[in-house]
């Protein structure tokens, strides 16, 4: 919850420098060097990465080696400048200091990766491309990659929205009405646990297009967890809430919309989260098998042509997208459920 | 009524209703066994009276309150509010439960507004919500969420949520039962003040003999389950009352005797 983390940020000094400022004394030069030591080391590591690109000759022809080295030097310089100028950077300074260990680790990792692939091929070459090969994919194959990203987002959004909406409505209906529950519950128990991918062969010849078939499969994968968790959320609402609302003059529609649904929302978000995970899996499989677009298809295509750097590039983009989607969901939840204590931070 | 409320938003124009409890019997089915809880309970409450219902734990007092609130129909007998039979819940009879049961997803203001919103009259009556929050002394906490409130504050919000509807009968189901003793003493005095100011009829279930005697005009004592009335005692002392009043101490001894606890004296 944002308010809590903010109050924590106020209460605790974020770095040793702030801590010293709290104690009310200025840091002398060597002391400030110690405090910023990690950031300086990170800068050195990035310089090392740049040098490792230039020092030895590449084992194959990668045109992006030099630009990559320059970029590494620029980043190293940036880290150093930001560290020395932290006092003039406002909130950015402490934020950088907090991330300095990660920057250091990243610099070391990239150096090792560079040396192990492009320079000495300790890792077998076509299967483990160097960083510059992946950069090359982003610069040279960008249009195709972007098309794939948009296709994936479109398919995912449509299927997920339909599945979430249908699952939510079904869940509320089962939780609220005994009659609906009587008819829907057995169907749900029979069909729900089936992995959505098991419907693939059926979906691809019953639906008019592979796109609608995939939308259906993604909706199915999303809908099941959303339904079950919405249902359990509505069913577990404290009866006293209904008593209170009824004595205050609430009609049944008020009890559903203003009591049952808000009370069930924490459960609904767990369902939406689980549905999101399940739908990613279906999306990739559907794109690999049926739809001739999207990141799943790009992965398949890259593997078919033994274009391993394209595969890694697509994997990185896919991971950013999935993580971004989950972040968005959690942000929405934090906003809607500010009233909850101690929700999990993503 | 509305005109009055606008003229003086602090004073609610509520006037207590009479309540007739006539031959009420009730029972629960538990695993096929019939468990009688109320056995031919009979009493009348005059408009504006403060009645305390005392009895052993689990004797069925709270069930009686649920019947008065209209949350359940009785197995037999009639409940009359101002001569009209009670057929279901209605905002003229509002319950404050032992747990505040505030809606955790609503802040204090929205919780208090609940009744007016449910009745569809909130838009024209916003001032009543503010007035009710001021009345229970939570003016600075309108935007607070229930998890940020102490037990006593939460129970005050529950009280405001009830009072904003101008109830004619206020039904209190051990509302102070879970509070610490200092908060309880403060809120007992506040309850008396509110009741005297508003004039609503009050029905209070409590386990606390002292609380019953401090607050009520009449104390009705129930037997063990199935509950029957064993005594109907008028507390003939003026308000504000003093806890050390020898007359109250005498009544307390009598009532504890009726509950079979005279050995403690």
Distance from CA of B18 to the nearest CA of A (A): 18
A196 and A112 within one domain: no
Whether pLDDT at A344 is above 70: no
For B113-135, what is the mean pLDDT? 89
- For residue B29, the cross-strand partners are B34
Q: With an 8 Å Cβ cutoff, are B97 and A244 in contact?
A: yes
Closest chain B residue to A259, measured at CA: B103
Residue A11 domain-assigned?
no
pLDDT class for B226, splitting at 50, 70, 90? Answer: confident
Which of A125, A156, A185 is where one domain is finished? A125
Which residues on B lie below 8 Å from A337 (Cβ)? 105
Q: What residues of chain B, 121 to 180, have a C-beta less than 8 Å from chain A?
A: 145-147, 161, 165
pLDDT class for A312, splitting at 50, 70, 90? Answer: very high
Whether pLDDT at A16 is above 50: no
Q: Give per-residue pLDDT as tens, B137-185.
A: 888 898 888 888 888 889 989 989 998 988 899 999 988 888 888 888 8
A265 and A157 within one domain: yes
> Measured between CB atoms, which of A243, A249, A258 is closest to B71?
A243
B101 and chain A in contact, CB less than 8 A: yes
Which of A98, A125, A152 is where one domain is finished? A125
A157 and A113 within one domain: no
A159 and A77 within one domain: no
Closest CA to A246 of B79, B172, B27, B89: B89
pLDDT class for A150, splitting at 50, 70, 90? Answer: very high
A247 and chain B in contact, CB less than 8 A: yes
Q: With an 8 Å Cβ cutoff, are A248 and B91 in contact?
A: yes
| DSSP secondary structure letter of residue B234 | E
A89 and A40 within one domain: yes
Whether pLDDT at A35 is above 80: no
Closest CA to A173 of A261, A284, A57, A68: A261
Report the pLDDT value the prediction gives residue A32, as an integer from 0 to 100. Answer: 59
A41 and A67 within one domain: yes
Q: What is the mean pLDDT of chain A?
A: 85
Architecture of domain B48-72+80-92+167-265 in this structure: 3-Layer(aba) Sandwich (3.40)
Between CA A134 and CA A64 the distance in angstroms is 9
Residue A23 domain-assigned?
no
A314 and A251 within one domain: yes
| Domain limits for position A74 | 36-125
Whether residue A211 contacts residue A291, with contact meaning beta carbons closer than 8 Å, is answered with: yes
Whether pLDDT at B57 is above 60: yes
The CATH number linked to A146 is 1.10.3720.10
Distance from CA of B144 to the nearest CA of A (A): 9
Q: Give per-residue pLDDT as tens, A63-81.
A: 888 899 999 999 999 988 8
Residue A16 domain-assigned?
no
Q: With an 8 Å Cβ cutoff, are A249 and B118 in contact?
A: yes
Closest CA to A64 of A161, A14, A138, A7: A138
Q: Give per-residue pLDDT as tens, B183-218.
A: 888 888 888 888 888 888 999 998 888 889 899 989
What is the value of ipTM here, to two decimals?
Answer: 0.85
Between CA A78 and CA A62 the distance in angstroms is 26
A8 and chain B in contact, CB less than 8 A: no
Residue A315 domain-assigned?
yes
Interface test with A, best of B104, B109, B154 (most A CBs within 10 A): B104
Between CA B203 and CA B167 the distance in angstroms is 12
Between CA B68 and CA A111 the distance in angstroms is 78
pLDDT class for B1, splitting at 50, 70, 90? Answer: very low
What pairing do the DSSP bridges indicate for beta strands B76-81 and B84-85? antiparallel
Report the pLDDT value the prediction gives residue A275, as an integer from 0 to 100. Answer: 93
Whether residue A328 contacts residue A320, with contact meaning beta carbons closer than 8 Å, is answered with: no
Residue A28 domain-assigned?
no
Residue A25 domain-assigned?
no
Whether residue B16 contacts residue B166, with contact meaning beta carbons closer than 8 Å, is answered with: no
Report the pLDDT value the prediction gives residue B12, as an integer from 0 to 100. Answer: 40
Percent of chain A exceeding pLDDT 70 equals 88
For A162-185, what is the mean pLDDT? 93
Whether pLDDT at B13 is above 50: no
A118 and A163 within one domain: no
Within 8 A by CB and 6+ apart from A134, the residues are A309, A312, A313, A316
Distance from CA of A10 to the nearest CA of B (A): 19
> What are phi and psi for residue A222, nearest 5 degrees?
-75, -40
Q: Three-class SS of residue A84?
A: helix
Whether pLDDT at A167 is above 90: yes
| DSSP secondary structure letter of residue A290 | T
A326 and A258 within one domain: yes
> Measured between CB atoms, which of B69, B97, B114 is closest to A240?
B97
Whether pLDDT at A165 is above 80: yes
Q: With an 8 Å Cβ cutoff, are B145 and A338 in contact?
A: yes
Do you know the residue count of chain B? Answer: 265
A170 and A111 within one domain: no
Whether pLDDT at A299 is above 60: yes
Between CA B180 and CA A335 the distance in angstroms is 34
Report the pLDDT value the prediction gives residue A102, as an integer from 0 to 100. Answer: 92
Residue A9 domain-assigned?
no
B265 and chain A in contact, CB less than 8 A: no
Between CA A290 and CA A209 the distance in angstroms is 9
Distance from CA of A268 to the nearest CA of B (A): 14
Which of A125, A153, A181 is where one domain is finished? A125
For B74-95, what is the mean pLDDT? 88
A256 and A283 within one domain: yes
A253 and A173 within one domain: yes
List of long-range contacts for A33-37, beta carbons under 8 Å, 24+ apart: A35/A97, A36/A83, A36/A84, A36/A86, A36/A97, A36/A100
Which residues on B lie below 8 Å from A233 (Cβ)? none
A35-44, A260-269, A305-314 — which is least confidently predicted? A35-44
- Count how many domains chain A has: 2
Residue A132 domain-assigned?
no
């Amino acid at each position: 919850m944002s308010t809590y983390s903010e109050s924590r940020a106020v209460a605790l000094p974020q770095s040793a420098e702030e801590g010293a400022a709290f104690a009310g004394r200025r840091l002398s030069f060597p002391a400030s060097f110690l405090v910023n030591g990690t950031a300086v080391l990170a800068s050195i590591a990035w310089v090392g990465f740049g040098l490792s690109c230039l020092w030895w000759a590449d084992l194959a022809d990668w045109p992006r080696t030099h630009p990559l080295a320059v970029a590494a030097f620029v980043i190293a310089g940036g880290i150093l400048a930001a560290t020395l100028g932290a006092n003039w950077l406002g909130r950015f300074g402490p934020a950088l200091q907090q991330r300095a260990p990660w920057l250091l680790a990243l610099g070391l990792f990239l150096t090792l990766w560079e040396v192990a692939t492009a320079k000495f091929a300790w890792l077998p070459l076509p299967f483990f491309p160097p960083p510059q090969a992946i950069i090359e994919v982003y610069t040279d194959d960008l249009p195709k990659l972007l098309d794939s990203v948009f296709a994936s987002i479109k398919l995912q959004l449509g299927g997920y929205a339909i599945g979430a909406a249908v699952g939510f409505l079904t869940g509320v209906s089962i939780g609220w009405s005994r009659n609906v529950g009587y008819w829907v519950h057995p169907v749900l128990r029979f069909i729900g646990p089936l992995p959505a991918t098991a419907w693939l062969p059926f979906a691809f010849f019953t639906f008019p297009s592979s796109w609608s078939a995939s939308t259906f499969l993604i909706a199915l994968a999303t809908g099941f967890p959303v339904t079950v968790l919405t249902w359990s959320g509505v069913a577990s609402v404290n009866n006293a809430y209904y008593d209170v609302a009824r004595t205050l003059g609430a009609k049944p529609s008020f009890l559903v919309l203003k009591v049952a649904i808000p009370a069930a929302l924490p459960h609904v978000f767990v369902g939406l989260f689980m549905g999101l995970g399940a739908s990613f899996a279906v999306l990739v499989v559907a794109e690999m098998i049926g739809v001739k677009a999207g990141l799943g298809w790009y992965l398949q295509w890259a593997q078919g042509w033994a274009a391993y750097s394209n595969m890694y590039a697509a994997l990185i983009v896919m991971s950013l997208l999935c993580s971004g989607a989950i972040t968005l969901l959690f942000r929405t939840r934090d906003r809607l459920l500010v009233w909850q204590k101690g929700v999990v931070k993503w | 009524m509305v005109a009055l409320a606008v003229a003086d938003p602090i004073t609610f124009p509520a006037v207590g209703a009479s309540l007739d409890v006539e031959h009420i019997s009730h029972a629960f089915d538990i695993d096929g066994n019939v468990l009688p809880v109320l056995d031919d309970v009979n009493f009348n409450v005059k408009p504006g009276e403060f009645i305390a219902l005392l009895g052993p734990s689990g004797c069925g007092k709270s069930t009686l309150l649920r019947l008065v609130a209209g949350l359940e129909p009785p197995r037999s007998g009639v409940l009359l509010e101002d001569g009209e039979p009670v057929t279901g819940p209605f905002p003229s009879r509002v319950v404050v439960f032992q747990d505040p049961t505030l809606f955790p997803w609503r802040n204090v203001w929205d919780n208090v507004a609940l009744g007016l919103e449910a009745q569809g009259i909130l838009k024209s009556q916003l001032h009543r919500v503010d007035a009710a929050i001021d009345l229970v002394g939570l003016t600075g906490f309108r935007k607070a969420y229930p998890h940020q409130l102490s037990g006593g504050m939460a129970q005050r919000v529950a009280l405001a949520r009830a009072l904003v509807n101008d109830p004619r009968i206020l039904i209190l189901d051990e509302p102070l039962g879970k509070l610490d003793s200092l908060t309880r003493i403060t809120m007992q005095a506040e309850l008396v003040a509110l009741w005297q100011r508003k004039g609503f009829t009050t029905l209070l279930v409590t386990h606390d003999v002292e609380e019953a005697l401090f607050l009520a005009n009449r104390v009705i004592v129930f037997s063990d389950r199935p509950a029957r009335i064993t005594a109907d005692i008028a507390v003939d002392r003026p308000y504000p009352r003093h806890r050390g009043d020898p007359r109250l101490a005498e009544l307390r001894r009598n009532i504890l005797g009726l509950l079979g606890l005279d050995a403690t004296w």
